[in-house]
């Protein structure tokens, strides 16, 4: 099994690329897009399991998560039994925090990390359009955006261009990682 971790700064378009690729691979048993557990309700761009913090804490205490992390006041986790459902010759694709990469790399030998990036102008416009943060929070997110994550097998993917161009490129990249 190959595991593909999707990471990147907020507003790089991770969820949009994942949703588009998910439609392309729909019905395929060899490519699974694993959902996260989050203590924040999903929005229109995400497909996650919502838990309140107390339920999340119970699952965490019972070692339900293979990896979990905190970000922006919320708890996130990936269920270990979801990874177990991926066929031996399959591909597991999941969106995680860069802090979770080591959890997967320490347990699995075939982990690829795709860092989704976008130029600062594109990121700023996307952050302003989604209207979640104030100017200070947007500036803080932009300041962190240029960081390259440490990963054993890192692939950088530029998502600054139009989705009609980048979505097929992203899907092709995922397809190529199935057999690597």
Q: Which residue has the higher pLDDT, 133 or 176?
A: 176
Distance CA(163)–CA(149), nearest Å, equals 23
Q: Mind spelling out the 3-state secondary structure of 132-158?
A: CCCHHHHHHHHHHCCCCCCCCCEEEEE
Q: Residue 70: what pLDDT? A: 95
β-bridge pairing 49-50 and 37-38: parallel
The answer to whether residues 89 and 1 touch, using CB atoms and an 8 Å cutoff, is: yes
Q: What is the pLDDT of residue 45?
A: 67
pTM of this structure: 0.92
- Give percent of the chain above pLDDT 90: 82
C-beta atoms surrounding 41 within 10 Å: 8
**2-178: CATH architecture:** 3-Layer(aba) Sandwich (3.40)
Q: Where are the domains of the chain?
A: 2-178
- The tens digit of pLDDT for each residue in 18-67 reads 999 999 999 999 999 999 999 998 776 677 899 999 999 999 999 999 99
Mean pLDDT of 126-131: 90
- Percent of the chain past pLDDT 70, that is, above it, reads 99
Structure confidence by residue, pLDDT tens digits, 98-127: 999 999 999 999 999 999 999 999 999 999
Residue with tokens 């490519």: 31
Q: Tell me the average pLDDT across 2-20.
A: 94
């Amino acid at each position: 099994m190959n595991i593909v971790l999707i990471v990147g700064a907020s507003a790089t378009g991770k969820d949009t690329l994942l949703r588009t690729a998910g439609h392309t691979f729909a019905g395929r048993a060899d490519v699974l897009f694993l959902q996260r557990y989050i203590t924040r309700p999903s929005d229109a761009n995400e497909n996650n399991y919502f838990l309140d913090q107390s339920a999340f804490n119970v699952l965490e205490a019972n070692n339900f998560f293979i990896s979990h992390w905190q970000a922006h006041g919320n708890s996130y986790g990936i269920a270990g039994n979801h990874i177990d459902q991926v066929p031996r010759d399959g591909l597991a694709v999941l969106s995680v925090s860069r802090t979770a990469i080591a959890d997967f790399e320490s347990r699995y030998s075939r982990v690829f990390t795709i860092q989704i990036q976008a130029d600062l102008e594109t990121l700023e416009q996307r952050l302003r359009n989604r209207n979640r943060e104030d100017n200070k929070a947007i500036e803080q997110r932009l300041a962190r955006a240029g960081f390259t994550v440490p990963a054993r097998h890192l692939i950088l993917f530029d998502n600054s261009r139009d989705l009609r161009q980048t979505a097929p490129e992203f899907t092709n990249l995922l397809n190529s990682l199935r057999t690597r």
